[in-house]
Chain A
Amino acid sequence: MAVAVRSEFGVILERCSGLAEDVTYPSVRRWREDHPGGHAVGHFQVYFPEELIHAAGMLPVTLMGAGSRLEAKQADSHIGSFICSVCRTSLELGFSGRVGFLDAFYTTPICDVARNLAGIWGRNFKGMTAEILYLPQNANAKQAVSYLRNEYARVLAELERIAGRPIEEADLRRSIRVYNENRRLLRELYRFKRETPWLLSTTEAYVLAKAGTVMPREEHNEILRTALAEIPNRDGRRQDRVRVVFEGGFCEQPPLDMLQLIEEACYIVDDDLLIGMRWIVDDVPETGDPLYALAESYLERSTYSCVQHDDRKPKEEMLLRRLAESGGQAVILAAAKMCEPGLDEQVAYSKALEEKKIPFLLLDFEEKMTAFERMRMEVETFVESILFD
Chain B
Amino acid sequence: MVDLVASDYVVERPARRQRRLLPLTESFPVRVTLIVIALLFLAVFLILPLVVVFSEALRLGLRAYGAALIEPHALAAIRLTLLTALIVVPLNAAFGIAAAWAITKFDFRGKNLLITLIDLPFSVSPVIGGMVFVLLFGLQGVFGPWLAAHGIKIVFAIPGIVIATLFVTLPFVARELIPLMQKQGTQQEEAALMLGANGWQTLRRVTLPNVKWSLLYGILLCNGRAIGEFGAVAVVSGHIIGLTNTMPLQVEVLYNDYAFAAAFAVASLLTLMALATLGLKTWLEWRAGTLPARTRLH
Q: Are A and B associated in one complex?
A: no
B interface residue numbers (CB < 8 A to A)? none
A interface residue numbers (CB < 8 A to B)? none
